[in-house]
Amino acid sequence: MKVEQEAQVWLCAAEHYRDSLMAIVGDAVASFRRKPGLDSLTRIYKQDVGAVAFAVLERVLPSADLPRTDSSYIPVREQLRSHLIYQVLKRLVEEEAVPVELRDILFSIDLGL
């Protein structure tokens, strides 16, 4: 998923869920099962996801045990990042709280495109 689309998902989620976003992200983290093999480390930047989503992610995501010198990003493994965005987007689509283009992205992910 492109960074712009991921940002749009997090902004929609922050607006739609407000105070319950932390519980939703917590449930997504709890349902994550890592697949064996190498997994790239990525960064989630505050300016990309918005202040509300960033604060939730900072509290809920497990620590990567890496020193952070900059608080404008959160280090996270690619598999976990993909799982989180998929789970949040899926829930938003089920509740019809996203624009049509984000719904189409979920369908394309499900189809493997």
What is residue 84's predicted lDDT score, i.e. its pLDDT?
A: 95
pLDDT at 68: 66
For position 65, what pLDDT does the model report? 59
**3's tokens:** 């960074």
- For residue 48, how far is the Cα from the chain centroid? 11
Write out the H or E segment, with its range, that includes residue 77.
strand 73-77
- pLDDT of 71 reads 81
CA angle 37, 39, 42 (to 5 degrees): 175
Q: pLDDT means per 10 residues in the chain (113 residues)?
A: 89 94 94 91 92 93 66 90 95 93 89 79
Could you tell me the residue ranges of all domains in the chain?
3-111
If DSSP codes are grouped into helix, strand and coil, which group holds residue 65? Answer: coil
What's the confidence (pLDDT) of residue 70? 73
Under a CB-based contact definition with an 8 Å cutoff, are residues 74 and 57 in contact? yes
